[in-house]
Structure 1
Amino acid sequence: MASPANKLKSPPFTIGTHNGHFHADEALAVYMLRLLPEYQDSLLVRSREPELLEACDIIVDVQGQYDGTKHFDHHQHTFSETFSPDFNTKLSSAGLIYKHFAPRIISQRLKLPEHSPAVTTVLNQLYRDFIEALDANDNGISAYPADVKPSFNAKGVTLASVVGGLNPAWNEECSDEQHDARFVKASNLIGEVFVNKLDYYGKAWLPARDFVISALQNRKSIHSSGKIMVFETSIPWKDHLSTLEDELGIPDEEKPLYVLYGEGPGKNWRIQAVPVSKDSFVSRKPLPEVWRGVRDEKLSEISGIDGGVFVHASGFVGGNKTYEGVFKMAEKALDMA
């Protein structure tokens, strides 16, 4: 959705943003714009001079305006835009550019029609699992209630902190040109992460959905209880399973407890306990306590199942040398406390 003025111009167009200290949101916003053909070779103006910025074709994270065509700032007091009614997080410049331009970006990258259901699914998932956190970070929104004290400090390893760390230190000499070069480096860094995530959701995560649907529908042919699902290989199944269980209205007593999958031709098989939610470390039914932290022959001896490989100390995952062995592990685990 380019500025109407762009229709009268030929590329390269110009992107404007503020100079000085940069953040992850405008660094990604600029990168996303440059994924579009009209901005692929765009010039970048980093300034706080209104005249210089208004001469640009599109302006992000500065000027105190949002119109969805040329101005994409979120700092004005009246701003309250969210990605959709399903989200409460106020957008940053990253979320604004994503909201307006990501359908085209995803469509081009995945070679799918812009308004296809697949593009919409990836659009929403990528926002939920990546962009929203950047919006929240830039707007000072915490992921946790104020009375929750974290077990450790993770701020130094967030993507936003890594991008911010590319700014010059307070006591470091840095010219405007050098600072601009650092911004480009930061933009490329976070942009590559964005593209990798887009590729994952579009080319790996989304195709896995059909396999999860099939496994969920056929699980009672695997075991009469319907508590065991099987995949020939490891696929991203947790998100899809959680969503499909809700969509299909599967009652708790009929939900699967264990997922079995192969590690590759001629390799071992894994059994994984289904978590209570897709991001939880708590399992619906962990593998038996007596198996946990035990490996190889000792595991085979304790479980009474040949081919034992391991069971994790927390009981969320285990392994056996064969499908038959891992299936027996699941059967026994269903019956044990």
Structure 2
Amino acid sequence: MQVVTHPGNFHADDVFAIAALRLAVGPLELVRSRDEAVVAAADVRVDVGGRSDPATGDFDHHQRGGAGERPNGIRYASFGLVWRAHGVALAGGDEEAAASIDERLVQGVDANDTGQTIVRSEVGDVRPMTVSGVVAAMNPAWDEELDDAAQDARFAQAVDVAEGILERELAGAAAFGRARRLVRDAIARAQDPRIVELDRNMPWRELVVAGAPGALYVVYPKSDGWGMQAVPVKAGDFANRRDLPAAWAGLSDDALAEATGVPGAMFCHPARFYVSARTREAIMALATLALDGDGA
């Protein structure tokens, strides 16, 4: 399959769009050109051509009026257009996984390319380094003279980096899908809805916060015993539905065992969101104490 995109400086949207296409359809014959005849002859056009139509292999957003926007107002750039066409298939048919990658990765790239600010610094002029910034930094410096072959080689390197990021995102989304099923099963079988017991530690916060409104603690086995974490008020928040008792904060080993009366208690985080123990019996005893106490 021959794919054409523009020459010169590249951006994250065209780089990631090519990477996504390569993952979706396999090896590509890539041409970087604005020659109208070359553009028209290609099987797929990315970021050139002035059309948006996956049926004809067109993934451009530079035409008058753009290529549309998502319900949240973030406009589509070439990466988003390719992802909209191929993302679900790349995610193994999992629409939730494809949507999560769109939210976590694709939309940020599209917003950067279409001139939409979605992040503002709260610390002066400090800005986080984004994948768009990483890709931009792979372009030649302003005073670096490269011939066309060397520029194309830089572009190919950037596509390799983007493909690696996408592969990890897809693997992570698939793993999250597996965790989603296991966590939902654990919520359903919980004898006490306030305690969700997992077979192993896995991503659970979003799922428990959304799907178990009565859950206060999650327990799971770990390499050196058992852990228990407080359920946050919302995913990504540091506030918990119920903190662990203040008397436990920062204690470990004998001191924690003495304070709780539970042999095998190992450690309680000073922030009162995590406690560990050597055995399941011990962690469940700590869970019972945390539920019976006032959390103060």
For normalisation by structure 1, the TM-score amounts to: 0.79
The structure 1 residue matched to 2:110, chosen from 135, 148, 170, is 135
Counterpart of 2:101, as a letter, is L
Contact 1:307/1:320 (8 A) holds in 2 = yes
Is 1:90 matched with 2:75?
A: yes
Contact 2:264–2:279 (8 Å) recurs in 1 = yes
**AA in 2 matched with 1:291:** W
Larger CA deviation: 277-286 vs 189-198: 277-286
Name the CA shift for 1:242/1:104 in 2 (closer, same or farther; >3 Å): same
User: Using a 3 Å threshold, how does the CA distance of structure 1 residues 173 and 80 change in structure 2: closer, same or farther?
Assistant: closer
Which of these residues, 236, 261, 272, is aligned with residue 279 of structure 1? Answer: 236
Contact kept, 8 Å, 2:3 with 2:44, in 1: the verdict is yes
Structure 2: distance between partners of 1:184 and 1:212: 40
Pair 98,54 (structure 1): closer, same or farther in 2 beyond 3 Å: same
| Residue 199 of structure 2 corresponds to residue 232 of structure 1 | yes
SS in 2 for 1:54: helix
Contact 2:266/2:275, CA 8 A, preserved across alignment? yes
User: Which residue type is aligned with residue 75 of structure 1?
Assistant: H
Task: Please point out which of 66, 70, 76 is paired with 2:63.
Answer: 76
Q: Return the alpha-carbon distance in structure 2 between the equivalents of residues 179 and 312 of structure 1.
A: 51
Segments of structure 1 that go 5 or more residues without pairing to the other structure are 1-12, 108-113
Q: TM-score, normalised by structure 2?
A: 0.89
**Counterpart-to-counterpart distance in 2, 1:51 and 1:106:** 34
* 1:43 lines up with 2:9 in the alignment: no
Q: Secondary structure at the match of 1:210?
A: helix
3-state SS of the aligned residue for 1:122?
A: helix
Aligned residues: 293
For residues 129 and 64 of structure 1, the distance between their equivalents in structure 2, rounded to whole angstroms, comes to 27
CA RMSD of aligned residues (A): 2.2
Distance 1:297 1:154 in 2: 44
**Which residue pairs with 1:206 in the alignment?**
177
- Output one character per residue of 1:6-57: Cα deviation in whole Å (capped at 9) or x when no partner: xxxxxxx2111111111211111101111234xx232111123333222211
The corresponding residue for 1:8 is none
For the residues of structure 1 that align with 2:58 and 2:105, how far apart are their CA atoms? 23
Within 5 Å, which residues of 2 pair with 1:134-283? 134-144=109-119, 149-150=122-123, 153-156=126-129, 158-202=130-174, 204-219=175-190, 221=191, 223=192, 226-245=193-212, 250=213, 255-264=214-223, 267-283=224-240
CA 142–272 in structure 1, closer or farther in 2 if over 3 Å, else same: farther
3-state secondary structure, aligned to 1:183? helix
CA distance in 2, matches of 1:281, 1:238: 12
1:111-147 Cα offsets, whole Å, 9 max, x none, are xxx5xxxx22222222223222222222233334x6x
Which of 269, 294, 306 matches 2:263?
A: 306
How far apart, CA to CA, are the structure 2 residues paired with 1:243 and 1:308?
A: 30
Secondary structure of 1:126's counterpart equals: helix
What's the offset of the Cα at 1:321?
1.1
Distance in 2 between residues matched to 1:313 and 1:139, nearest whole Å: 44
Query: What fraction of aligned residue pairs are identical, expressed as a percent?
Result: 31
Structure 1's 88 and 329: CA in aligned 2 closer, same or farther, altered over 3 A? farther
Question: Residue 94 of structure 1: CA displacement?
Answer: 0.8
1:18 aligned onto 2:11: no
Paired residues of 1:155 and 1:161 also in contact (CA < 8 A)? no
Q: Distance in 2 between matches of 1:101 and 1:184?
A: 21
1:29 aligned residue (1, 14, 17): 17
The 3 A distance-change label for structure 1 pair 190 and 312 is: farther
CA drift at 1:149: 2.4
CA distance in 2, matches of 1:290, 1:49: 72
Cα drift, residue 150 of structure 1? 4.5
Q: Secondary structure at the match of 1:135?
A: helix
Kindly tell me: are residues 88 and 304 of structure 1, through their superposed partners in 2, closer, same or farther at Cα, counting changes over 3 Å? farther
